[in-house]
């Protein structure tokens, strides 16, 4: 049960380390964003900000742990767009994502990339789509499980193009990427924060970016729309949430620390090298996340119900 923290605790907050739970494996894209931001928030909060990874079921399990945690500002969730799909994808979930969390703020919006193992035969996205409808139908497609953004991207791709994929779920796309590089799976659609280095290192084959326009860090990689798939777009917005009942002053303090963290030169430079940018200060707020989250829940509920 949510119990409001006493007022004196809110003024002193934080007096001990804060844990940010990332409901995906270490070394993956959510983990990368969380660790960078946590380190920068530590400076402002004057307390350690620890990361705990708890992957599984697309992030719905770990998110549930935060939903059930004490609403005292010491357990937070950092995850992404996927949280807005859990209600539609897991009807028996023990919590309702739209009601179980109090927002802290948006963090970043990450482009995604369709990538293949290095020796996958198709040379470009158009060839890949043909291949997946013919000899390559049922190619293995690594995801972080139902509701992960890697899974959502695959669903949209199947819906838009009619290709056939065999989904291989992992506890996060960190381990899935290890298998893609090793050639154990054929394809993924993953965030640039987990693909740029492997693309530049020539360890995997880039097919397309999922944004409307090409992105500066991967200018040679075309958009999916350039291969004739109209209006295909998905990005992974990330955010920080607290369990429902977390006092407003605590969330405002966290939001202020987040806003400062997002202006850190290290965060800006690391994000840029991984194909993304921090959100502007006005979006790293409870109000902005609340608006985005509720509208995304509505959008994905309709989209997933229709499919």
Binding site for ligand MLT (CB under 6 A): 24-25, 28-31, 80, 82, 144, 148-150, 172-174
Question: Diameter of the chain by CA atoms?
Answer: 66
C-beta of 10 vs 84, nearer to ligand MLT: 84
What's the closest the beta carbon of residue 98 comes to ligand MLT, in angstroms? 19
What's the closest the beta carbon of residue 153 comes to ligand MLT, in angstroms? 8
What's the closest the beta carbon of residue 152 comes to ligand MLT, in angstroms? 8
Q: How far apart are CA 168 and CA 165, in angstroms?
A: 9
C-beta of 148 vs 157, nearer to ligand MLT: 148
Q: Which two structure tokens, joined as six digits, stand for 3?
A: 């119990």
C-beta of 31 vs 72, nearer to ligand MLT: 31
What's the closest the beta carbon of residue 51 comes to ligand MLT, in angstroms? 12
Nearest CA to 189 out of 112, 247, 242, 136 is that of 112
C-beta of 30 vs 235, nearer to ligand MLT: 30
C-beta of 10 vs 211, nearer to ligand MLT: 211
Q: How far apart are CA 164 and CA 162, in angstroms?
A: 7
What's the closest the beta carbon of residue 178 comes to ligand MLT, in angstroms? 12
Query: Residue 134: which residues within 8 A CB-CB, separation 6 or more?
Result: none
Query: Residue 180: which residues within 8 A CB-CB, separation 6 or more?
Result: 115, 116, 117, 142, 186, 187, 188, 198, 204
């Amino acid at each position: 049960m949510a119990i409001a923290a006493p007022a004196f605790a809110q003024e002193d907050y934080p007096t001990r380390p804060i844990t940010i739970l990332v409901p995906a494996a270490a070394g993956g894209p959510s983990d990368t964003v969380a660790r960078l931001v946590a380190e920068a928030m530590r400076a402002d909060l004057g307390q350690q900000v620890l990361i705990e990874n708890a992957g599984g079921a697309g992030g719905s399990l770990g998110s549930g742990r935060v939903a059930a945690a004490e609403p005292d500002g010491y357990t937070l969730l950092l995850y992404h767009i996927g949280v807005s799909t859990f209600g539609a994808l897991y009807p028996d979930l023990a919590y309702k994502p739209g009601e179980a969390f109090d927002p802290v703020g948006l963090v970043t919006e990450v482009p995604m990339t369709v990538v293949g193992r290095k020796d996958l035969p198709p040379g470009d996205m158009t060839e890949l789509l043909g291949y997946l409808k013919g000899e390559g139908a049922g190619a293995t497609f690594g995801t972080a499980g139902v509701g992960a953004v890697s899974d959502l991207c695959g669903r949209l791709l199947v819906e838009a193009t009619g290709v056939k994929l065999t989904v291989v779920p992992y506890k996060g796309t960190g381990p899935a990427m290890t298998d893609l590089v090793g050639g154990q799976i054929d394809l993924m659609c993953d965030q640039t924060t987990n693909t740029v280095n492997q693309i530049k290192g020539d360890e995997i084959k880039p097919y397309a970016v999922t944004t409307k326009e090409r992105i500066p860090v991967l200018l040679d990689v075309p958009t999916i729309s350039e291969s004739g798939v109209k209006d295909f777009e998905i990005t992974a917005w990330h955010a920080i949430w607290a369990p429902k009942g977390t006092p407003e002053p605590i969330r405002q303090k966290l939001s202020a620390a987040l806003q400062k963290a997002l202006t850190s030169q290290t965060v800006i430079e690391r994000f840029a090298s991984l194909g993304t940018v921090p959100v502007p200060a006005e979006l790293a707020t409870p109000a902005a996340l609340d608006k985005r989250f509720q509208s995304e829940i509505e959008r994905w509920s309709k989209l997933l119900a229709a499919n």
